[in-house]
Each structure stands twice: as C-alpha cells, then as structure tokens.
Amino acid sequence: SPGEPRALFALPSARGPLPAPRWPLECEVIKETIEHIEWDPPEPEPFCQPTGLEQAPAALGEEQGTLVYNLSPAPPGSCFTRARVGGAPGPLSSPAAALAGPEDTTLLFESRFESGNLQKAVKVGPYEYVLTLRPDLYTAKHTQWFYFRVQNTRRDPLYRFTIANLAKPKSLYGEGMRPLLYSQRDAQSRGVGWRRVGADVRYYRGGGGEEPAAFRLSWTARFPHDGDTCFFAHSYPYTYSDLQRYLRALAGDPVRSRYCAVRALCRSLAGNTVYLLTITGPGGTQAPKRAVVLSARAHPGESGGSWAMRGCLDFLLSDRPDARLLRRLFVFKVVPMLNPDGVVVGNSRCSLAGRDPNRAYGTGLCGSFPGVWHLRAMVERVLAKREVVLYCDFHGHSRKNNVFMYGCDGGGAGAGPRLRQRVFPLMLSKNAPDKFSFPSCKFKVQKSKEGTGRVVMWRLGVSNSYTMEVAFGGSTLGGRSSHFTVEDLKSLGYHLCDTLLDFCDPDPAKFQQCLAEVDALLRQRLGRELGSSSSWSDISPSELESSTSGSDSSVSD
C-alpha cells in the first residue's frame, strides 16, 4: 500500500546480495544456490515418434520397491500461516536413503530448492524408479510441473523413470514431447545446458486409482557421465531468483535503467516482492501516451511464459530503432512474475491461497490474491488517464502444440469490434509463422473463464485483451516438428513487440489488409455468405470457433 515505507520492499540493487526468497515454514530448503547456464541446441530437437504403444510398461511393483526419497507432505486441510527466508527453521532432515558404499548405484534425489518438485522416489529395479510429485501446496491436486536433482549417476545403464501421479488425462507427452535433462558436468566442461532426452516416452492412465491423479509419464534415459549431478524438468525452469538476477543486472546498467523503473507492485502472501516495471522513453507527442500491460507466471508451472517475457524485456530495453520507437509511442507496464510464491515452492497452478490466481481477477480479495488484485487496480488507474491498447498475459499449454491466443468476443456486437479482436493474433501469426497458429486461437468468453485476467481486463475496457498460450512441447508449423528452445521462447517476446508496431502503424494498410483477411476467414468458416456486415451480430462466438482447433477450449488460461 502507498503508505508503507519503501524499505519494507526488497528491490534488487546493482550492489549487495539479492533479496532472498521467503518460503512457508513447512518447507525445508537446502543451502546450495541452484543456477543453470543458458544454451541453445545447435540442431532442432525433434519430437520422438510415438511408439503407438500407449499401454503401460510392465507392472512396476512399487509395494516391493525400496523408498529412496521421501519428503513429508503438508498435513491434509492445512493452509498457509507464516513464511521466512530459508523456510523451515532448524537442521534439515535427510529424505534420501544413504548409500551402502561406492558400489551402490542408487540415485540420490533432491528437490528442496527453488521451483523444485518431487515428493517421493521408490527404486523398483537396479535402474528403475517410480516418482511421486508434490501437489500444489495446501491442495491435493494440480500435479504437472516437475523439477528435481539426481546425483550418483552411472553412464552406461539405461534408466527408467515413471511419474505416477499426474493430474491431466491428456498431455503433449503422448504426442512426442520429451522431458528436459541438465548435466552439471556438461555445463561446466562443454557449455551445454538443458536438452531434450528420453526414449520410449509414454503417457497413460495408471492402475490402482488410490491417488486422485492417476496418470503416468514414463521415459527411459542415459546419463552422460559417471558421478554427475543432473536435473530433470518439465520445462526450462525460470525461478524467482532468476528474475531478481535479471532485475539486478538492469539496475546496474546505466543505459537500460534510464527507461525502466522497477517498483514493488505489492508483496505476496509469503512477503516476496511482486515487481512492476514501467518502461518508456521521451515521448514525441503532447497527448498522453497509450499503455501496454503485460504479465506472466500467474501459473507457476508455466515457466515458458517467463522466457517469452524475458525476450520481450530484452527487446524493449535494447537500442534497436524499433525498441526506441516503441518506448517513444507507449508506456509499458509489466508484471513479470505475478505469483512468486507459487514459483518459489514449485507449484503447478496455485498461489499459497491454494487456489488458481487466474480465476480471481473478479473477486475483491486483496488479502488472498495480492498480485492479481493490485494488477487489476493498477490497470484501472492507468485507464483513467490513458488508453490501454493491449493487455497480454503469458501462459503455457500442456495439450496443444504451437503458440496461440485466447481473446474476448462477447457476441452481439457489430462486425467492427468482433473482427478487430482477431487482428492482433493474425498479425502475430504472420510475424512468427513457424511458431504461432492463428487457427488454434479462440475468442469465446466461457462462463468458467469470467475470473481470468483477459476477461476482466476486457470488461474494464481493454478491447485487445489476450492470454498468450505457449505449448510446453514445440512447433508443428513451417515444416518444423520440434521442441521449443529457450531462444524460440524469447523470440516470441520480440515478435509481440514487432506486431505492436504493425498493429498501431499510422499507415492503416496492414491493419486493413488483416481485417479483410479475418473477415474472409470467418465467412469461410461459417460456410455461408453474410448479407450485410451488421448481421455479424446475429452469430454466436461458438459458431466462429475454428473446427480445426478441437474441443480444447475448456483448458488452460
């Protein structure tokens, strides 16, 4: 709140240590700093060919296995009470089984670090493990994100890992997506970072049904070295400390810090700072500049959103002519990590309130969802002074490949607003044709989505209000059939900025051309001619949804 002394908010300065993340008291946290190098594979990483064998591998016999890692779960029905730097006080427990000697090839598991998620590991064969993820804190569900460390690796054997309690019935793992592996030794000696690994990747319904989440992901992999420290992850991690390192570098850069002010939007439930960046440059005109509002990581497991946001910030803060022009024309209000607590503890979807923040924009619950509440209040303040030309919230999608957007077509309006809604995503698909799929975009406002950022901002008066969905897998467009790399994800940020210039170009030619194209596409989709443009208002948003985009509209966001 405005009355609070600024010192209460930790802002990264160019000097001094980073503000340490605050954890709920129940969470044990190891002392080591976990940091990964950025790397881009020299060749595309293709999807693996689904074997067509969707049935389970041979029964795993967890009951007969040996428990080799076990974190005590939060008691059912518990809720968040207090947080501190470093999490649980006192000495750490030892969740990993001790090795019997140098010949013992048991892997040593660990996940008590930022964004880490692994609850339990059972060894069911010499090189075979069944893993259980920790549900989002203070809930019994939302198991999707995983990120954990293994030590005591051996180079020759083929290992099999099976995550036994995933929540979603359908996943891109069933369509050729592979998990990510990071080898510390490869990073140090060869400069190689996160890469896709895994053969025989299967996603299937588990048996037993004693878990509320009964889907399983199984893959085999070899480690590159003996005695290495490796990590597995669902997507390229981007932690709260990664963001703070980025902001500290920004604060220490005399050029970039001139046109980027870093402030605290608010504090999270655990007391972590939710950052607000204001980016703009000397303006050309007298009229108030228009605003652009961008946000990411409402859902902590959707780390690709942070990499796209990174690309966006890198572009906006660069000295490229287009970046200078964007800063002259607009004021950018950016919240790069809306749910830092969820990111810190390794949640998939929720904040420490145990609920999905991207269903809470319509509520007045500042105490439960401070990030969302203050973002909405900030947009209302901005709208009182200037037009908001675009709102975009960055998310990740687990069931459809490529990148696409959800917009807001409330139906009932005339042709103008309904067609204009679709212009920005169409332009973006032209600027990123090998990644962005316009036919996958959806514009229907569903009942279940009323509390999302995109719908609430649209109802506040931001007519171009979108969720950008970035697949966890990759692209099937432009001759590609390969996973997204970090560079791919960052490039989405550049393309978004580029598209904004096309969208707001004083010469209306591009806009008009896209408007005509959208009109033709929708008429084609309806399969009939419209008499006059006013009759658009008789057509429901459902009728305009692409028949090719399947029935996935009820997911994500």
Per-residue pLDDT of the chain (557 residues; tens, 9 = 90+): 444 334 445 677 777 778 899 999 999 999 999 999 999 999 999 999 866 555 566 556 667 899 999 998 777 788 999 999 999 998 999 999 999 999 999 999 999 999 999 999 999 999 999 999 999 999 998 999 999 999 999 999 999 999 999 999 999 999 999 999 999 999 999 999 999 999 899 999 887 655 454 899 999 999 999 999 999 999 999 999 999 999 999 999 999 999 999 999 999 999 999 999 999 998 766 688 999 999 999 999 999 999 999 999 999 999 999 999 999 999 999 999 999 999 999 999 999 999 999 998 988 788 899 999 999 999 999 999 999 999 999 999 999 999 999 999 877 666 788 889 999 999 999 999 999 999 999 998 888 888 999 999 999 999 999 999 999 999 999 989 999 999 999 999 999 999 999 999 999 999 999 999 999 988 888 876 555 444 666 777 777 775 444 444 446 78
Task: Please tell me the distance from the alpha carbon of residue 172 to that of residue 120, in angstroms, as a whole number.
Answer: 24
Going from the C-alpha of 238 to that of each of 42, 86, 114, 179, the distances in angstroms are 21, 19, 9, 16
Residues 362 and 484 in one domain: yes
- 144, with CB counted inside 10 A (0-12, 13-18, 19+), is buried
Q: What share of the chain is helix, strand, coil (3-state, %, to 5)?
A: 30, 25, 50
Pairing relationship of beta strands 465-471 and 388-397 according to DSSP bridges: parallel
Residues 157 and 297 in one domain: no
- What value, to the nearest 5°, has the Cα angle with vertex 363 and ends 441 and 344? 75
Residues 226 and 247 in one domain: no
Residues 270 and 226 in one domain: no
Residues 329 and 391 in one domain: yes
Residues 219 and 259 in one domain: no
Domain-located, residue 17: no
Catalytic residue list: 469
- The pLDDT value recorded for residue 364 is 74
- The pLDDT value recorded for residue 5 is 37
Task: Please tell me the distance from the alpha carbon of residue 136 to that of residue 342, in angstroms, as a whole number.
Answer: 8
Residues 284 and 408 in one domain: yes
Whether 246 and 337 have beta carbons less than 8 Å apart is answered as no
CATH of the domain at 509: 3.40.630.10
**What is the number of domains present in the chain?**
2
- The pLDDT value recorded for residue 534 is 47
Domain-located, residue 158: yes
Domain-located, residue 380: yes
The string over 424-451, giving b where at least 16 C-beta atoms fall within 10 Å of a residue's C-beta and e elsewhere, is: bbbbbbbbbeebbbbebbbbbbeeebeb
Work out the widest C-alpha separation in the chain, in whole angstroms.
81
Residues 222 and 244 in one domain: no
Residues 193 and 342 in one domain: no
Task: Please tell me the distance from the alpha carbon of residue 353 to that of residue 357, in angstroms, as a whole number.
Answer: 9
Whether 195 and 230 have beta carbons less than 8 Å apart is answered as no
Task: Please tell me the distance from the alpha carbon of residue 382 to that of residue 384, in angstroms, as a whole number.
Answer: 5
SS3 326: helix
Name all contacts of 384-389 with Cβ < 8 Å and 24+ positions apart.
Answer: 385/288, 386/288, 386/289, 386/290, 386/291, 386/331, 387/290, 387/291, 388/290, 388/291, 388/292, 388/293, 388/457, 388/461, 388/462, 389/290, 389/291, 389/292, 389/330, 389/464, 389/500, 389/503, 389/504
- The pLDDT value recorded for residue 410 is 78
Whether 342 and 136 have beta carbons less than 8 Å apart is answered as yes
Q: What letter represents residue 66's amino acid? A: T
Instruction: Report H helices in 128-269.
Output: 184-190, 240-251
Task: Please tell me the distance from the alpha carbon of residue 473 to that of residue 172, in angstroms, as a whole number.
Answer: 6
Residues 418 and 343 in one domain: yes
CATH of the domain at 161: 2.60.40.3120
> Which letter does DSSP use for residue 537 in this model?
G
Task: Please tell me the distance from the alpha carbon of residue 205 to that of residue 216, in angstroms, as a whole number.
Answer: 6
**Which DSSP string corresponds to 418-479?**
HHHTTHHHHHHHHHSTTTB-GGG-EEE--GGGTTSHHHHHHHHT-SSEEEEEEESSEE-STT
Q: Which of 233, 254, 271 is the last residue of a domain?
A: 233
Domain-located, residue 547: no
Pairing relationship of beta strands 147-151 and 230-233 according to DSSP bridges: antiparallel
Residues 292 and 399 in one domain: yes
Give the distance, in angstroms, between the CA of residue 249 and the centroid of all CA atoms in the same chain. 22
User: How many of the other CB atoms lie within 10 Å of CB of 236?
Assistant: 21
For residue 142, give every residue at least 6 positions away whose Cβ sits within 8 Å of its Cβ, in sequence order, or none: 135, 136, 167, 301, 347, 348, 349, 350
H-helix or E-strand spanning residue 393 = strand 388-397
- The pLDDT value recorded for residue 214 is 80
Q: Which of 210, 233, 256 is the last residue of a domain?
A: 233
Domain-located, residue 116: yes
As beta bridge partners, residue 273 has 267
Task: Please tell me the distance from the alpha carbon of residue 475 to that of residue 482, in angstroms, as a whole number.
Answer: 6
Pairing relationship of beta strands 290-296 and 388-397 according to DSSP bridges: parallel
Domain-located, residue 10: no
pTM: 0.94
Residue 393 token pair: 């919230």
Domain that holds residue 150: 61-76+90-233
Domain-located, residue 35: no
H-helix or E-strand spanning residue 381 = helix 370-385
> Which letter does DSSP use for residue 225 in this model?
S
Domain-located, residue 2: no
Pairing relationship of beta strands 147-151 and 199-205 according to DSSP bridges: unpaired
Residues 139 and 286 in one domain: no
